[in-house]
Amino acid sequence: MERGLLIVISGASGTGKGTVCKKILADLPKISYSISATTRKPRQGEVDGREYYFLSVDEFKQWIADEKFLEYAEVYGNFYGTPLNKIEEQLNRGEDVLLEIDVQGALNVKKKCPDGVYIFLLPPSLEELRRRIEGRGSETPESLNRRLKNAVAEIQIGREYDYAVVNDTIENAAAQIKSILAAERCKVARNTDKFNF
Amino acid sequence: MERGLLIVISGASGTGKGTVCKKILADLPKISYSISATTRKPRQGEVDGREYYFLSVDEFKQWIADEKFLEYAEVYGNFYGTPLNKIEEQLNRGEDVLLEIDVQGALNVKKKCPDGVYIFLLPPSLEELRRRIEGRGSETPESLNRRLKNAVAEIQIGREYDYAVVNDTIENAAAQIKSILAAERCKVARNTDKFNF
């Protein structure tokens, strides 16, 4: 059984990684989505066990103690974590798993799973990034500026990834990501059995 | 000016690399083809400076002495070489250059140009490889067996490449190679300018 691909997609906040990941999952239904755990409150329409596992802070700390996380991080006062055991099960069954996580989380995952595919989404411009963060409508001027400054710092961390994809349109970004996945499946290291003649 | 991609495609003899490369060049006309030099005699329809630079053995040795080759090798009593100066000019102009070379040649190029994209074409099966070599019609039973044995040995060297593509149909192989090129253009190392915010 060939091990599945661990696909990690990150981007600074406001880059649109959620929308791009939804498109990838819709177009490539064989890819499984890794559900994260968080202590932040559910937004309208979010369901426990679908968008996130919504945990209390105490529950989250128990999962940490039980070593259930591949990585976890605190972002704007909330905890986010990636359940390790579920992902390993999926990969070993040969399933490809998509992980949409924050920049800090992804670098921790990269240390533990260097054979994953690390894709960083970039905004087409600073102006467009500002528009997208503003468009969420839930920002005060202070939090907008803090998020924008933070986003620019996060983008620099993207240099540690394998691939950079500019999210100018969802279609373009998704097409590039599909090419990356097709190419990764052709890597010699993932196809050693095909050399046995 | 961003440097172009050096695309190196190899495969054991009879794997159909010539046909696949022609398809790639037809579909992606922006890619330039690197013309090799050889001391073998032109086949019917081959034109000097188009398929190859056809050189005498003395001329070839002079090119070696003048360090005009990125690599050169002797295959079945003939010399084959890749002119270095032309390729460097093309890459520095931002052109992608496709290099279709033998296995031994490719490994020499990989040492000198590790940032190239090294793609190895595999036959779908040993039986199919035998059929394709037979199909050329220019083989004696001895040379067929020698070529087949040699091909299996060459395939093992393919493990040193970056990517493995099975040439089951020209369309499939070309599609996979196009994905590989699209993915390589997304590599962070080739896009550092896009992180300057």
- B186–A165 C-beta distance less than 8 A: yes
| B188·A163 Cβ contact <8 A | yes
Task: Kindly indicate the confidence band of residue B138, based on its pLDDT and cuts at 50, 70 and 90.
Answer: low
Cβ of residue A196 closer than 8 Å to a chain B Cβ: no
Q: How far is A96 from A117, CA to CA, in rounded Å?
A: 11
pTM of the model: 0.85
The answer to whether the Cβ–Cβ distance between B188 and A156 falls below 8 Å is no
Domain boundaries defined on chain A? 6-195
Instruction: Point out the residue among B156, B159, B186 whose CB comes nearest to the CB of A176.
Output: B186
Per-residue model confidence (pLDDT) at position A138: 65
Nearest chain B residue to A154, by CA: B195
Which pairs with CB-CB distance under 8 Å and at least 24 residues apart come from B15-18?
A: B15/B121, B15/B122, B15/B123, B15/B129, B15/B132, B15/B151, B15/B167, B16/B121, B16/B123, B16/B132, B16/B167, B16/B170, B16/B173, B17/B100, B17/B121, B17/B167, B18/B100
* Listed range (A11-25, A177-191, B173-187) with the worst mean pLDDT: A11-25
DSSP H helices in B55-169: 57-65, 84-92, 103-112, 126-135, 141-157
- Give the 3-state secondary structure of residue B100: strand
- Position B88 scores a pLDDT of 87
What is residue B164's three-state secondary structure?
Answer: strand
> pLDDT tens, A7-34?
999 998 888 899 999 999 999 999 998 8
Nearest CB neighbour to A187, from listed B163, B166, B197: B163
Q: What is the ipTM of this complex?
A: 0.84
Most confident of A15-29, A92-106, B68-82: A15-29
- pLDDT (tens digit, 9 = 90+) per residue, A137-146? 666 888 888 8
Interchain contact, B182 vs A195, CB within 8 Å: no
Of A21, A1, A26, give the one whose Cα is nearest residue A10: A21
Let me know: does B182 contact B32? Beta carbons within 8 Å. no
Among A118-122, A152-156, A181-185, the range scoring the smallest mean pLDDT is: A152-156
What class, spelled out in words, does domain A6-195 have in CATH?
Answer: alpha beta
Please indicate if any CB of chain B lies within 8 Å of the CB of A24.
no
Of the candidates B156, B180, B192, the beta carbon closest to that of A186 is on: B180
